[in-house]
A and B are shown apart, each in its own frame.
Chain A
Amino acid sequence: MAFVKKEFLHIFRDYRTLIILFALPAAQILIFGYAVRTDLTNASLAVLDNAHDEVSNELILKLDASEFFDIRYHLTSYDEIDPAFKKGQIKAAIIFPEDFAGRLTREGNAAVSIIADGSEANNANLVTGYTTAILNDYSAGLTKQLTSAMPVIVPEVKMYFNPNLESHFMFVPGVITLILILISALMTSVTIVREKEFGSMEVLLVSPLKPWQIIVGKVAPYFFLSLVNVIVILLLAWFVFGLPVKGSIALLIAECMLYILLGLSIGILISASVQKTENAMFISFLGLMLPTLLLSGFIFPIENMPKAYDYVSLVLPPRWFVEIIRSIMIKGAGFSYIWKETLILVVMTLFFMFLSAKKFKVRLGEGGK
C-alpha cells in the first residue's frame, strides 16, 4: 500500500525520528545497565582502625577482598571522617574501637561502627547491608570455632530466579515497557497530529481512503519498528548483560505485540484529542512516560508505595506489562501464569481502541472549523 510506504519514507528521511527509534533504546539499555545500578560493586570505604589487632586486620582484608568494597583510605583519626564524606570520596566509614580483639575474646562481643553516607539513602542501605553481612559471616565462623557446642541458626538465603540480585534483571523489562510506550504512543500521536497541523490530513480525508485505512497506514510502520526494537533490546540484553529469555520467546513477542497495540490506540486517542504536535508530546510524556517510570514497579517496587499509589498503578498498563515481561523473561513463566495480566491488557486495548474510534468519528462528522 502506497500510504504505508510513504510513512516509512517519512521516518527514514527524518534522522531525528530515526535517532529516537533506534539510538534511544540502545542508549537506555546501556545507561540503565551501567550507570543506574541498584547493586553494589567496588564502593569506596574508609577504615579507621583504632585496634590494629589481628581480628580487625582480618576483617579489613575480608572487606577489601570482597567485590562489593574497595578500601580507599586508612584513616588515623575521627576528624578525617567528615572531610572524606564531604568530598564524596567514600560511601561509608568503618570504625574499629580500641582493643577490638581483646573485647571480643573477653566479653564475647564487640561493636564495629559503620557510618554510611545517608544523603544517598539507597546506597547507604546497600552498603550497611553488605558490610553487616560480611561481619556476620565472620562472627558466625568465630562462634563455630569457639563454642562448637552452642547451636547457631545460620540462614542460607537464596535469591530465586536471580541468584546474584543483578539489577539488569529489573531494568530490561522496564526498558522494554518504556521504549514500547514511547514509540507506539508518542510517535504515532505526534505523526498523526503533524498531518493535522500541515493540513495534509484534510487532503487524505478527501481521498477515497477510509479513515481507518489512514490510521492503520499511519501506525503500521510504528508497529513494525516497535517490534524490531523489542528484538534489538532483547539481543542487547543477552549479549551485553548475559540475560537470556527463560520463557517462550514467541509468547514474549506476542505479549509485546499486544502492548504495542495498546500503546498505538492510546497514541491515536491522544492525536484525536489535540491539535498541536507539542501538546501531543507533552501529554504522551507526562501521561505515559512518567507513570511508566515511576509507578510501574520498574524502578520503585509497588509494594513499598503508599496504598493510594498502588491503586493508581492498577489502571496503568505498564504495571501489568512489566509483570508479564518479568515473568516470561526471568521466571520462565508460561501463559497459564500470566493470563490474568494479559486479559487486563486486552480489555484496556479494546477500551482505548473503542474510545479513539469514537473520538475520531466525532471529529470527522463535525470536523474542522
Chain B
Amino acid sequence: MEREKVIEVEGLVKKFGSFVANDHLTFDVFRGEIFGFLGANGAGKTTAIRILCGLSRPTSGKVTVAGINANHPEEIKKRIGYMSQRFSLYDDLTVKENIELYGGIYGMTMKEILPRTEDLLTRLSFSQYGDTLIRSLPLGLRQKLAFAVAVFHDPEIIFLDEPTSGVDPITRRQFWEMIYETAAHGITVFVTTHYMDEAEYCDRVTIMNEGRIVALDTPSALREKYSSSSIEELFVKIARPKTETA
C-alpha cells in the first residue's frame, strides 16, 4: 500500500555564500508519521527545518510541503504548526490569552477558539490554570501547553525543533505520549532532537552530518544495519568521526 507523502524533498541545496548548509537532501515524509531529524549542532538540521517551514528559500532543489511548493511559503504556513525549544509561550500572558492569540494568528474566530480552549484545558487537566500567567507555571507544563497550542489549529504537519531541551525525564515521557496521540490523529510530526533515546521513539530517523543525510530508516533497521545496540552508539559511529576529522 502506497502511503501518502506530506513532505517531498528532492535534491535540496541551501548555500550561505560559499558555505553549503544543506547538500542535496532527498527524503519523503508520510502522513501520520513521526519523523526524527538527528544531527550534531551545525549539521544543517535547523537550516532544513527553516526551509520546510517557509522561513527560508532553498538555493536549488524541489521541496513540497503539504502538497505545496516551497516557493509559496504563505500557503505552507497555514497548514503547519511550529514549536521551538527557545520559546514556548508569552510568559506575561495567561494560558487562555496565549491560546486565544495563537488561534487568532491562524485565522480562527472566537467562536471556534472558545469551545476548543475548554476542550484542550480539560484534556490536559489544566482547567485550574486557565487564568494563570505562563510565567508562574513550571517549565514542564509550559512545554506541554506549548505543544498543545502549536497543534491547536489542526495543522497537517507539526514541526518540533528540539522541543524537550531542558525538560525533566518524566515530562519528556509525557511529552512523547502527546506526540504519539497527535500522530495517531493523522498529524505528521517532524521532530529534531539531540536526545538519542528519543530517536528510538520515532517511526523513522534521519541522521545528518555536515549538511548531508548519512542515514535514513526505521530505528530498528538502522541498528541492524550498523550492528549497534542503540541509536546513540550508531550516531557516534557514523556522525562523530567525520565531524572530528573535518
A14, B103: Cα distance in complex, Å = 23
- CB-based contact B106/A368 at 8 Å: no
Interface membership of A6, Cβ < 8 A? yes
- CB-based contact A207/B92 at 8 Å: no
Within B93-147, which residues are at the interface with A (CB < 8 Å)? 93, 97, 100-107, 133
- CB-based contact B107/A208 at 8 Å: yes
Known: A6-B93, A369-B46. A209 touches B84 (CB 8 A): no
Interface membership of B82, Cβ < 8 A? yes
* A199-226 vs B, Cβ < 8 Å mask (1 yes, 0 no): 1101111111110000000000000000
A203, B92: Cα distance in complex, Å = 17
CB distance from B169 to the nearest CB of A (A): 24
Q: Indicate which residue in B50, B97, B102 contacts A367 across the interface (CB closer than 8 Å).
A: B50
CB distance from B100 to the nearest CB of A (A): 6
Give the total of A residues in contact with B, Cβ under 8 Å.
27
Q: Indicate which residue in B55, B90, B103 contacts A10 across the interface (CB closer than 8 Å).
A: B90
Q: Indicate which residue in B80, B86, B105, B107 contacts A202 across the interface (CB closer than 8 Å).
A: B86
Q: Indicate which residue in A5, A202, A205, A208 contacts B106 across the interface (CB closer than 8 Å).
A: A208
Interface membership of B54, Cβ < 8 A? yes
Q: How many A-B residue pairs have CB under 8 A?
A: 76
- Which residues from B are CB-within-8-Å of A5? 101, 104
CB distance from A154 to the nearest CB of B (A): 67
- Which residues from B are CB-within-8-Å of A14? 92
- CB-based contact B77/A206 at 8 Å: yes
Known: A199-B84, A200-B87, A208-B77. A2 touches B55 (CB 8 A): no
- CB-based contact A208/B78 at 8 Å: yes
Interface membership of B57, Cβ < 8 A? yes
- CB-based contact B77/A203 at 8 Å: no
* B51-85 vs A, Cβ < 8 Å mask (1 yes, 0 no): 00111110000000000000000100110101110
- CB-based contact B77/A207 at 8 Å: yes
Interface membership of A79, Cβ < 8 A? no
- CB-based contact A3/B105 at 8 Å: yes
The main secondary structure of chain B at its interface with chain A is: mixed
CB distance from B211 to the nearest CB of A (A): 14
A178, B90: Cα distance in complex, Å = 31
Known: A3-B105, A10-B92, A207-B105. A367 touches B55 (CB 8 A): yes
Known: A13-B92, A202-B87. A6 touches B107 (CB 8 A): no
Within B172-225, which residues are at the interface with A (CB < 8 Å)? none
- Which residues from A are CB-within-8-Å of B104? 1-3, 5
CB distance from A79 to the nearest CB of B (A): 65
CB distance from B167 to the nearest CB of A (A): 16
- Which residues from A are CB-within-8-Å of B92? 9-10, 13-14
- Which residues from A are CB-within-8-Å of B82? 202-203, 206-207
CB distance from A152 to the nearest CB of B (A): 72
CB distance from A298 to the nearest CB of B (A): 35
CB distance from B163 to the nearest CB of A (A): 12
A200, B149: Cα distance in complex, Å = 14
- CB-based contact A206/B100 at 8 Å: no
A2, B149: Cα distance in complex, Å = 15
- Which residues from A are CB-within-8-Å of B97? 6, 9
Within A1-35, which residues are at the interface with B (CB < 8 Å)? 1-3, 5-6, 9-10, 13-14
Q: Indicate which residue in B50, B86, B102 contacts A199 across the interface (CB closer than 8 Å).
A: B86
Interface membership of A344, Cβ < 8 A? no
Known: A3-B105, A13-B92. A198 touches B86 (CB 8 A): yes
- Which residues from A are CB-within-8-Å of B54? 206
- CB-based contact A368/B107 at 8 Å: no
A302, B165: Cα distance in complex, Å = 57
Interface membership of A242, Cβ < 8 A? no
10 contacts between A and B (CB under 8 A): A3-B105, A5-B101, A6-B90, A10-B93, A203-B83, A206-B80, A207-B82, A208-B105, A368-B50, A369-B46
Interface set of B (CB-CB < 8 Å, partner A): 16, 46, 50, 53-57, 74, 77-78, 80, 82-84, 86-87, 90, 92-93, 97, 100-107, 133, 159
**Which 5 pairs between the two chains have the least Cβ-Cβ distance?**
A2-B104, A199-B86, A199-B87, A206-B82, A13-B92
Interface set of A (CB-CB < 8 Å, partner B): 1-3, 5-6, 9-10, 13-14, 198-200, 202-210, 364-369
Q: A2-B100, A5-B104 are in contact. List 18 more A-B contacts (CB 8 A).
A: A1-B104, A3-B101, A6-B93, A10-B92, A14-B92, A198-B86, A198-B87, A202-B82, A202-B84, A202-B86, A202-B87, A206-B159, A365-B56, A365-B57, A367-B56, A368-B46, A368-B55, A368-B56
